[in-house]
Amino acid sequence: MAGLVIVGAGPIGAWVAEAALADRVVDAIVGVVDPDDRARRELVASTGAPGYATTVQIPRAELGDVALISFASAAERVAPEIIRLVSAGYDVVTTCEGLAWAPRHLWDAMHTSARSDGRTIIVTGANPGFSMDRLPLLLAGASRNVTSIKAKRSMDTSTCRPSLIAKSGRGLTAEEFAAQVMAGRVGHKGLDSSAKLIARGLEWPHKDVSLDIKPILVDGRAIGANHKARLSAGYGREIVLELSMAWKLEEPFDRVTVVGTPPITIDIPGGYPIDDGTAAHVVAAIRHCATLDPGFYRPTDLPLRFGVS
């Protein structure tokens, strides 16, 4: 048993702190890091942990301590913080979407850092991390001669945290939507990563990915966005991922279709909940830190385990 440091006291950090204590995967929250005074103070008050404005102030880890890094989607922002915490003795779990398929130089830097400090770094989450990569790959493993994988996900953002609603582009005109997509402020991050993770798992080429994002407009304003990623792996093989996230979208669902022998289709009526789901994956990853060999693990690098052991 160990302590958990939360880096990024937003909704995900707060929910994970609560879930990790409730599930007894850690004994205590031993630090809360956030430059935002209000967010930090709230989580400090609810956990009793010391608060810090930056990771530079965090004390060295006690044996078995883990840090959750959940403050940004951009790999370039998160990777240096991970390396700092690993060198301070922490195993690290992160929900950073950009690290689900890390650029080569960051993958090398983190893998080297984890190996040389004898620590584990795990990238996890619901999407990327499960519903459009790990889950389709698990199903593909139950079929032969797979030629196509499709995952379709439809989300009602009215049940989601504010930062996700903002990323869906809600309230923007078509022009504003296009500008915010260009600036990287609107649009789900990680659809291309999920497609590449699936392709890699199937030992298919993974370079040819196209991405598309369009607003869902009602009376001239966006209620959300439609995203599509298509990966062509040659010889007619393809991976297609479609994600709709919009305010009050009716009848949300997840569907995964594997074309192979046998063909498989599964539906999750209501959809896999991204926020509760992410907390569940992070808690599982914290549990796994102690048992994995040192290294950097993308979502599909994690060994498959059944149950909670």
Ligand X SMILES: NC(=O)c1ccc[n+]([C@@H]2O[C@H](COP(=O)([O-])OP(=O)(O)OC[C@H]3O[C@@H](n4cnc5c(N)ncnc54)[C@H](OP(=O)(O)O)[C@@H]3O)[C@@H](O)[C@H]2O)c1
Q: Please report how the helices 37-47 and 11-22 are oriented relative to each other, as an axis angle in degrees rounded to 10.
A: 10
Among residues 149, 274, 283, 286, which is the contact residue for ligand X, using CB under 6 A? Answer: 274
Half-sphere exposure of 225 (CA within 13 A, CB side): 27
One character per residue 168-197, x = contact with ligand X (rule: CB under 6 A): ------------------------------
The angle subtended at Cα 250 by Cα 247 and Cα 251, nearest 5°, is 130
Q: Which of 63, 52, 38, 49 is nearest to 16 (CA)?
A: 49
Contacts to ligand X from residues 227-266, by CB under 6 A:
none
* Nearer to ligand X (CB atom), residue 95 or residue 120: 95
3 is a site residue for ligand X (CB under 6 A)? no
10 is a site residue for ligand X (CB under 6 A)? yes
9 is a site residue for ligand X (CB under 6 A)? yes
Q: Which spans in the chain are helix H?
A: 11-22, 37-47, 75-87, 104-117, 134-140, 162-167, 174-182, 191-201, 274-289
Least Å from the CB of residue 276 to ligand X = 10
Among residues 111, 161, 200, 255, which is the contact residue for ligand X, using CB under 6 A? Answer: 161
Contact 187, 206 (CB under 8 A): no
Structure tokens at 273: 């909940």
Least Å from the CB of residue 208 to ligand X = 24
128 is a site residue for ligand X (CB under 6 A)? yes
Contacts to ligand X from residues 37-66, by CB under 6 A:
39
* Nearer to ligand X (CB atom), residue 191 or residue 258: 191
* Nearer to ligand X (CB atom), residue 8 or residue 146: 8
Least Å from the CB of residue 86 to ligand X = 15
Cis-peptide, bond into residue 215, ω within 30° of zero = no
The CA distances from residue 173 to 162, 228, 264, in Å, are 19, 20, 39
The CA distances from residue 125 to 92, 226, 244, 273, in Å, are 14, 20, 18, 11
Contacts to ligand X from residues 67-96, by CB under 6 A:
70-73, 95
List contacts with ligand X (CB under 6 A): 7-13, 33-36, 39, 70-73, 95, 97, 125-129, 161, 163, 274, 278
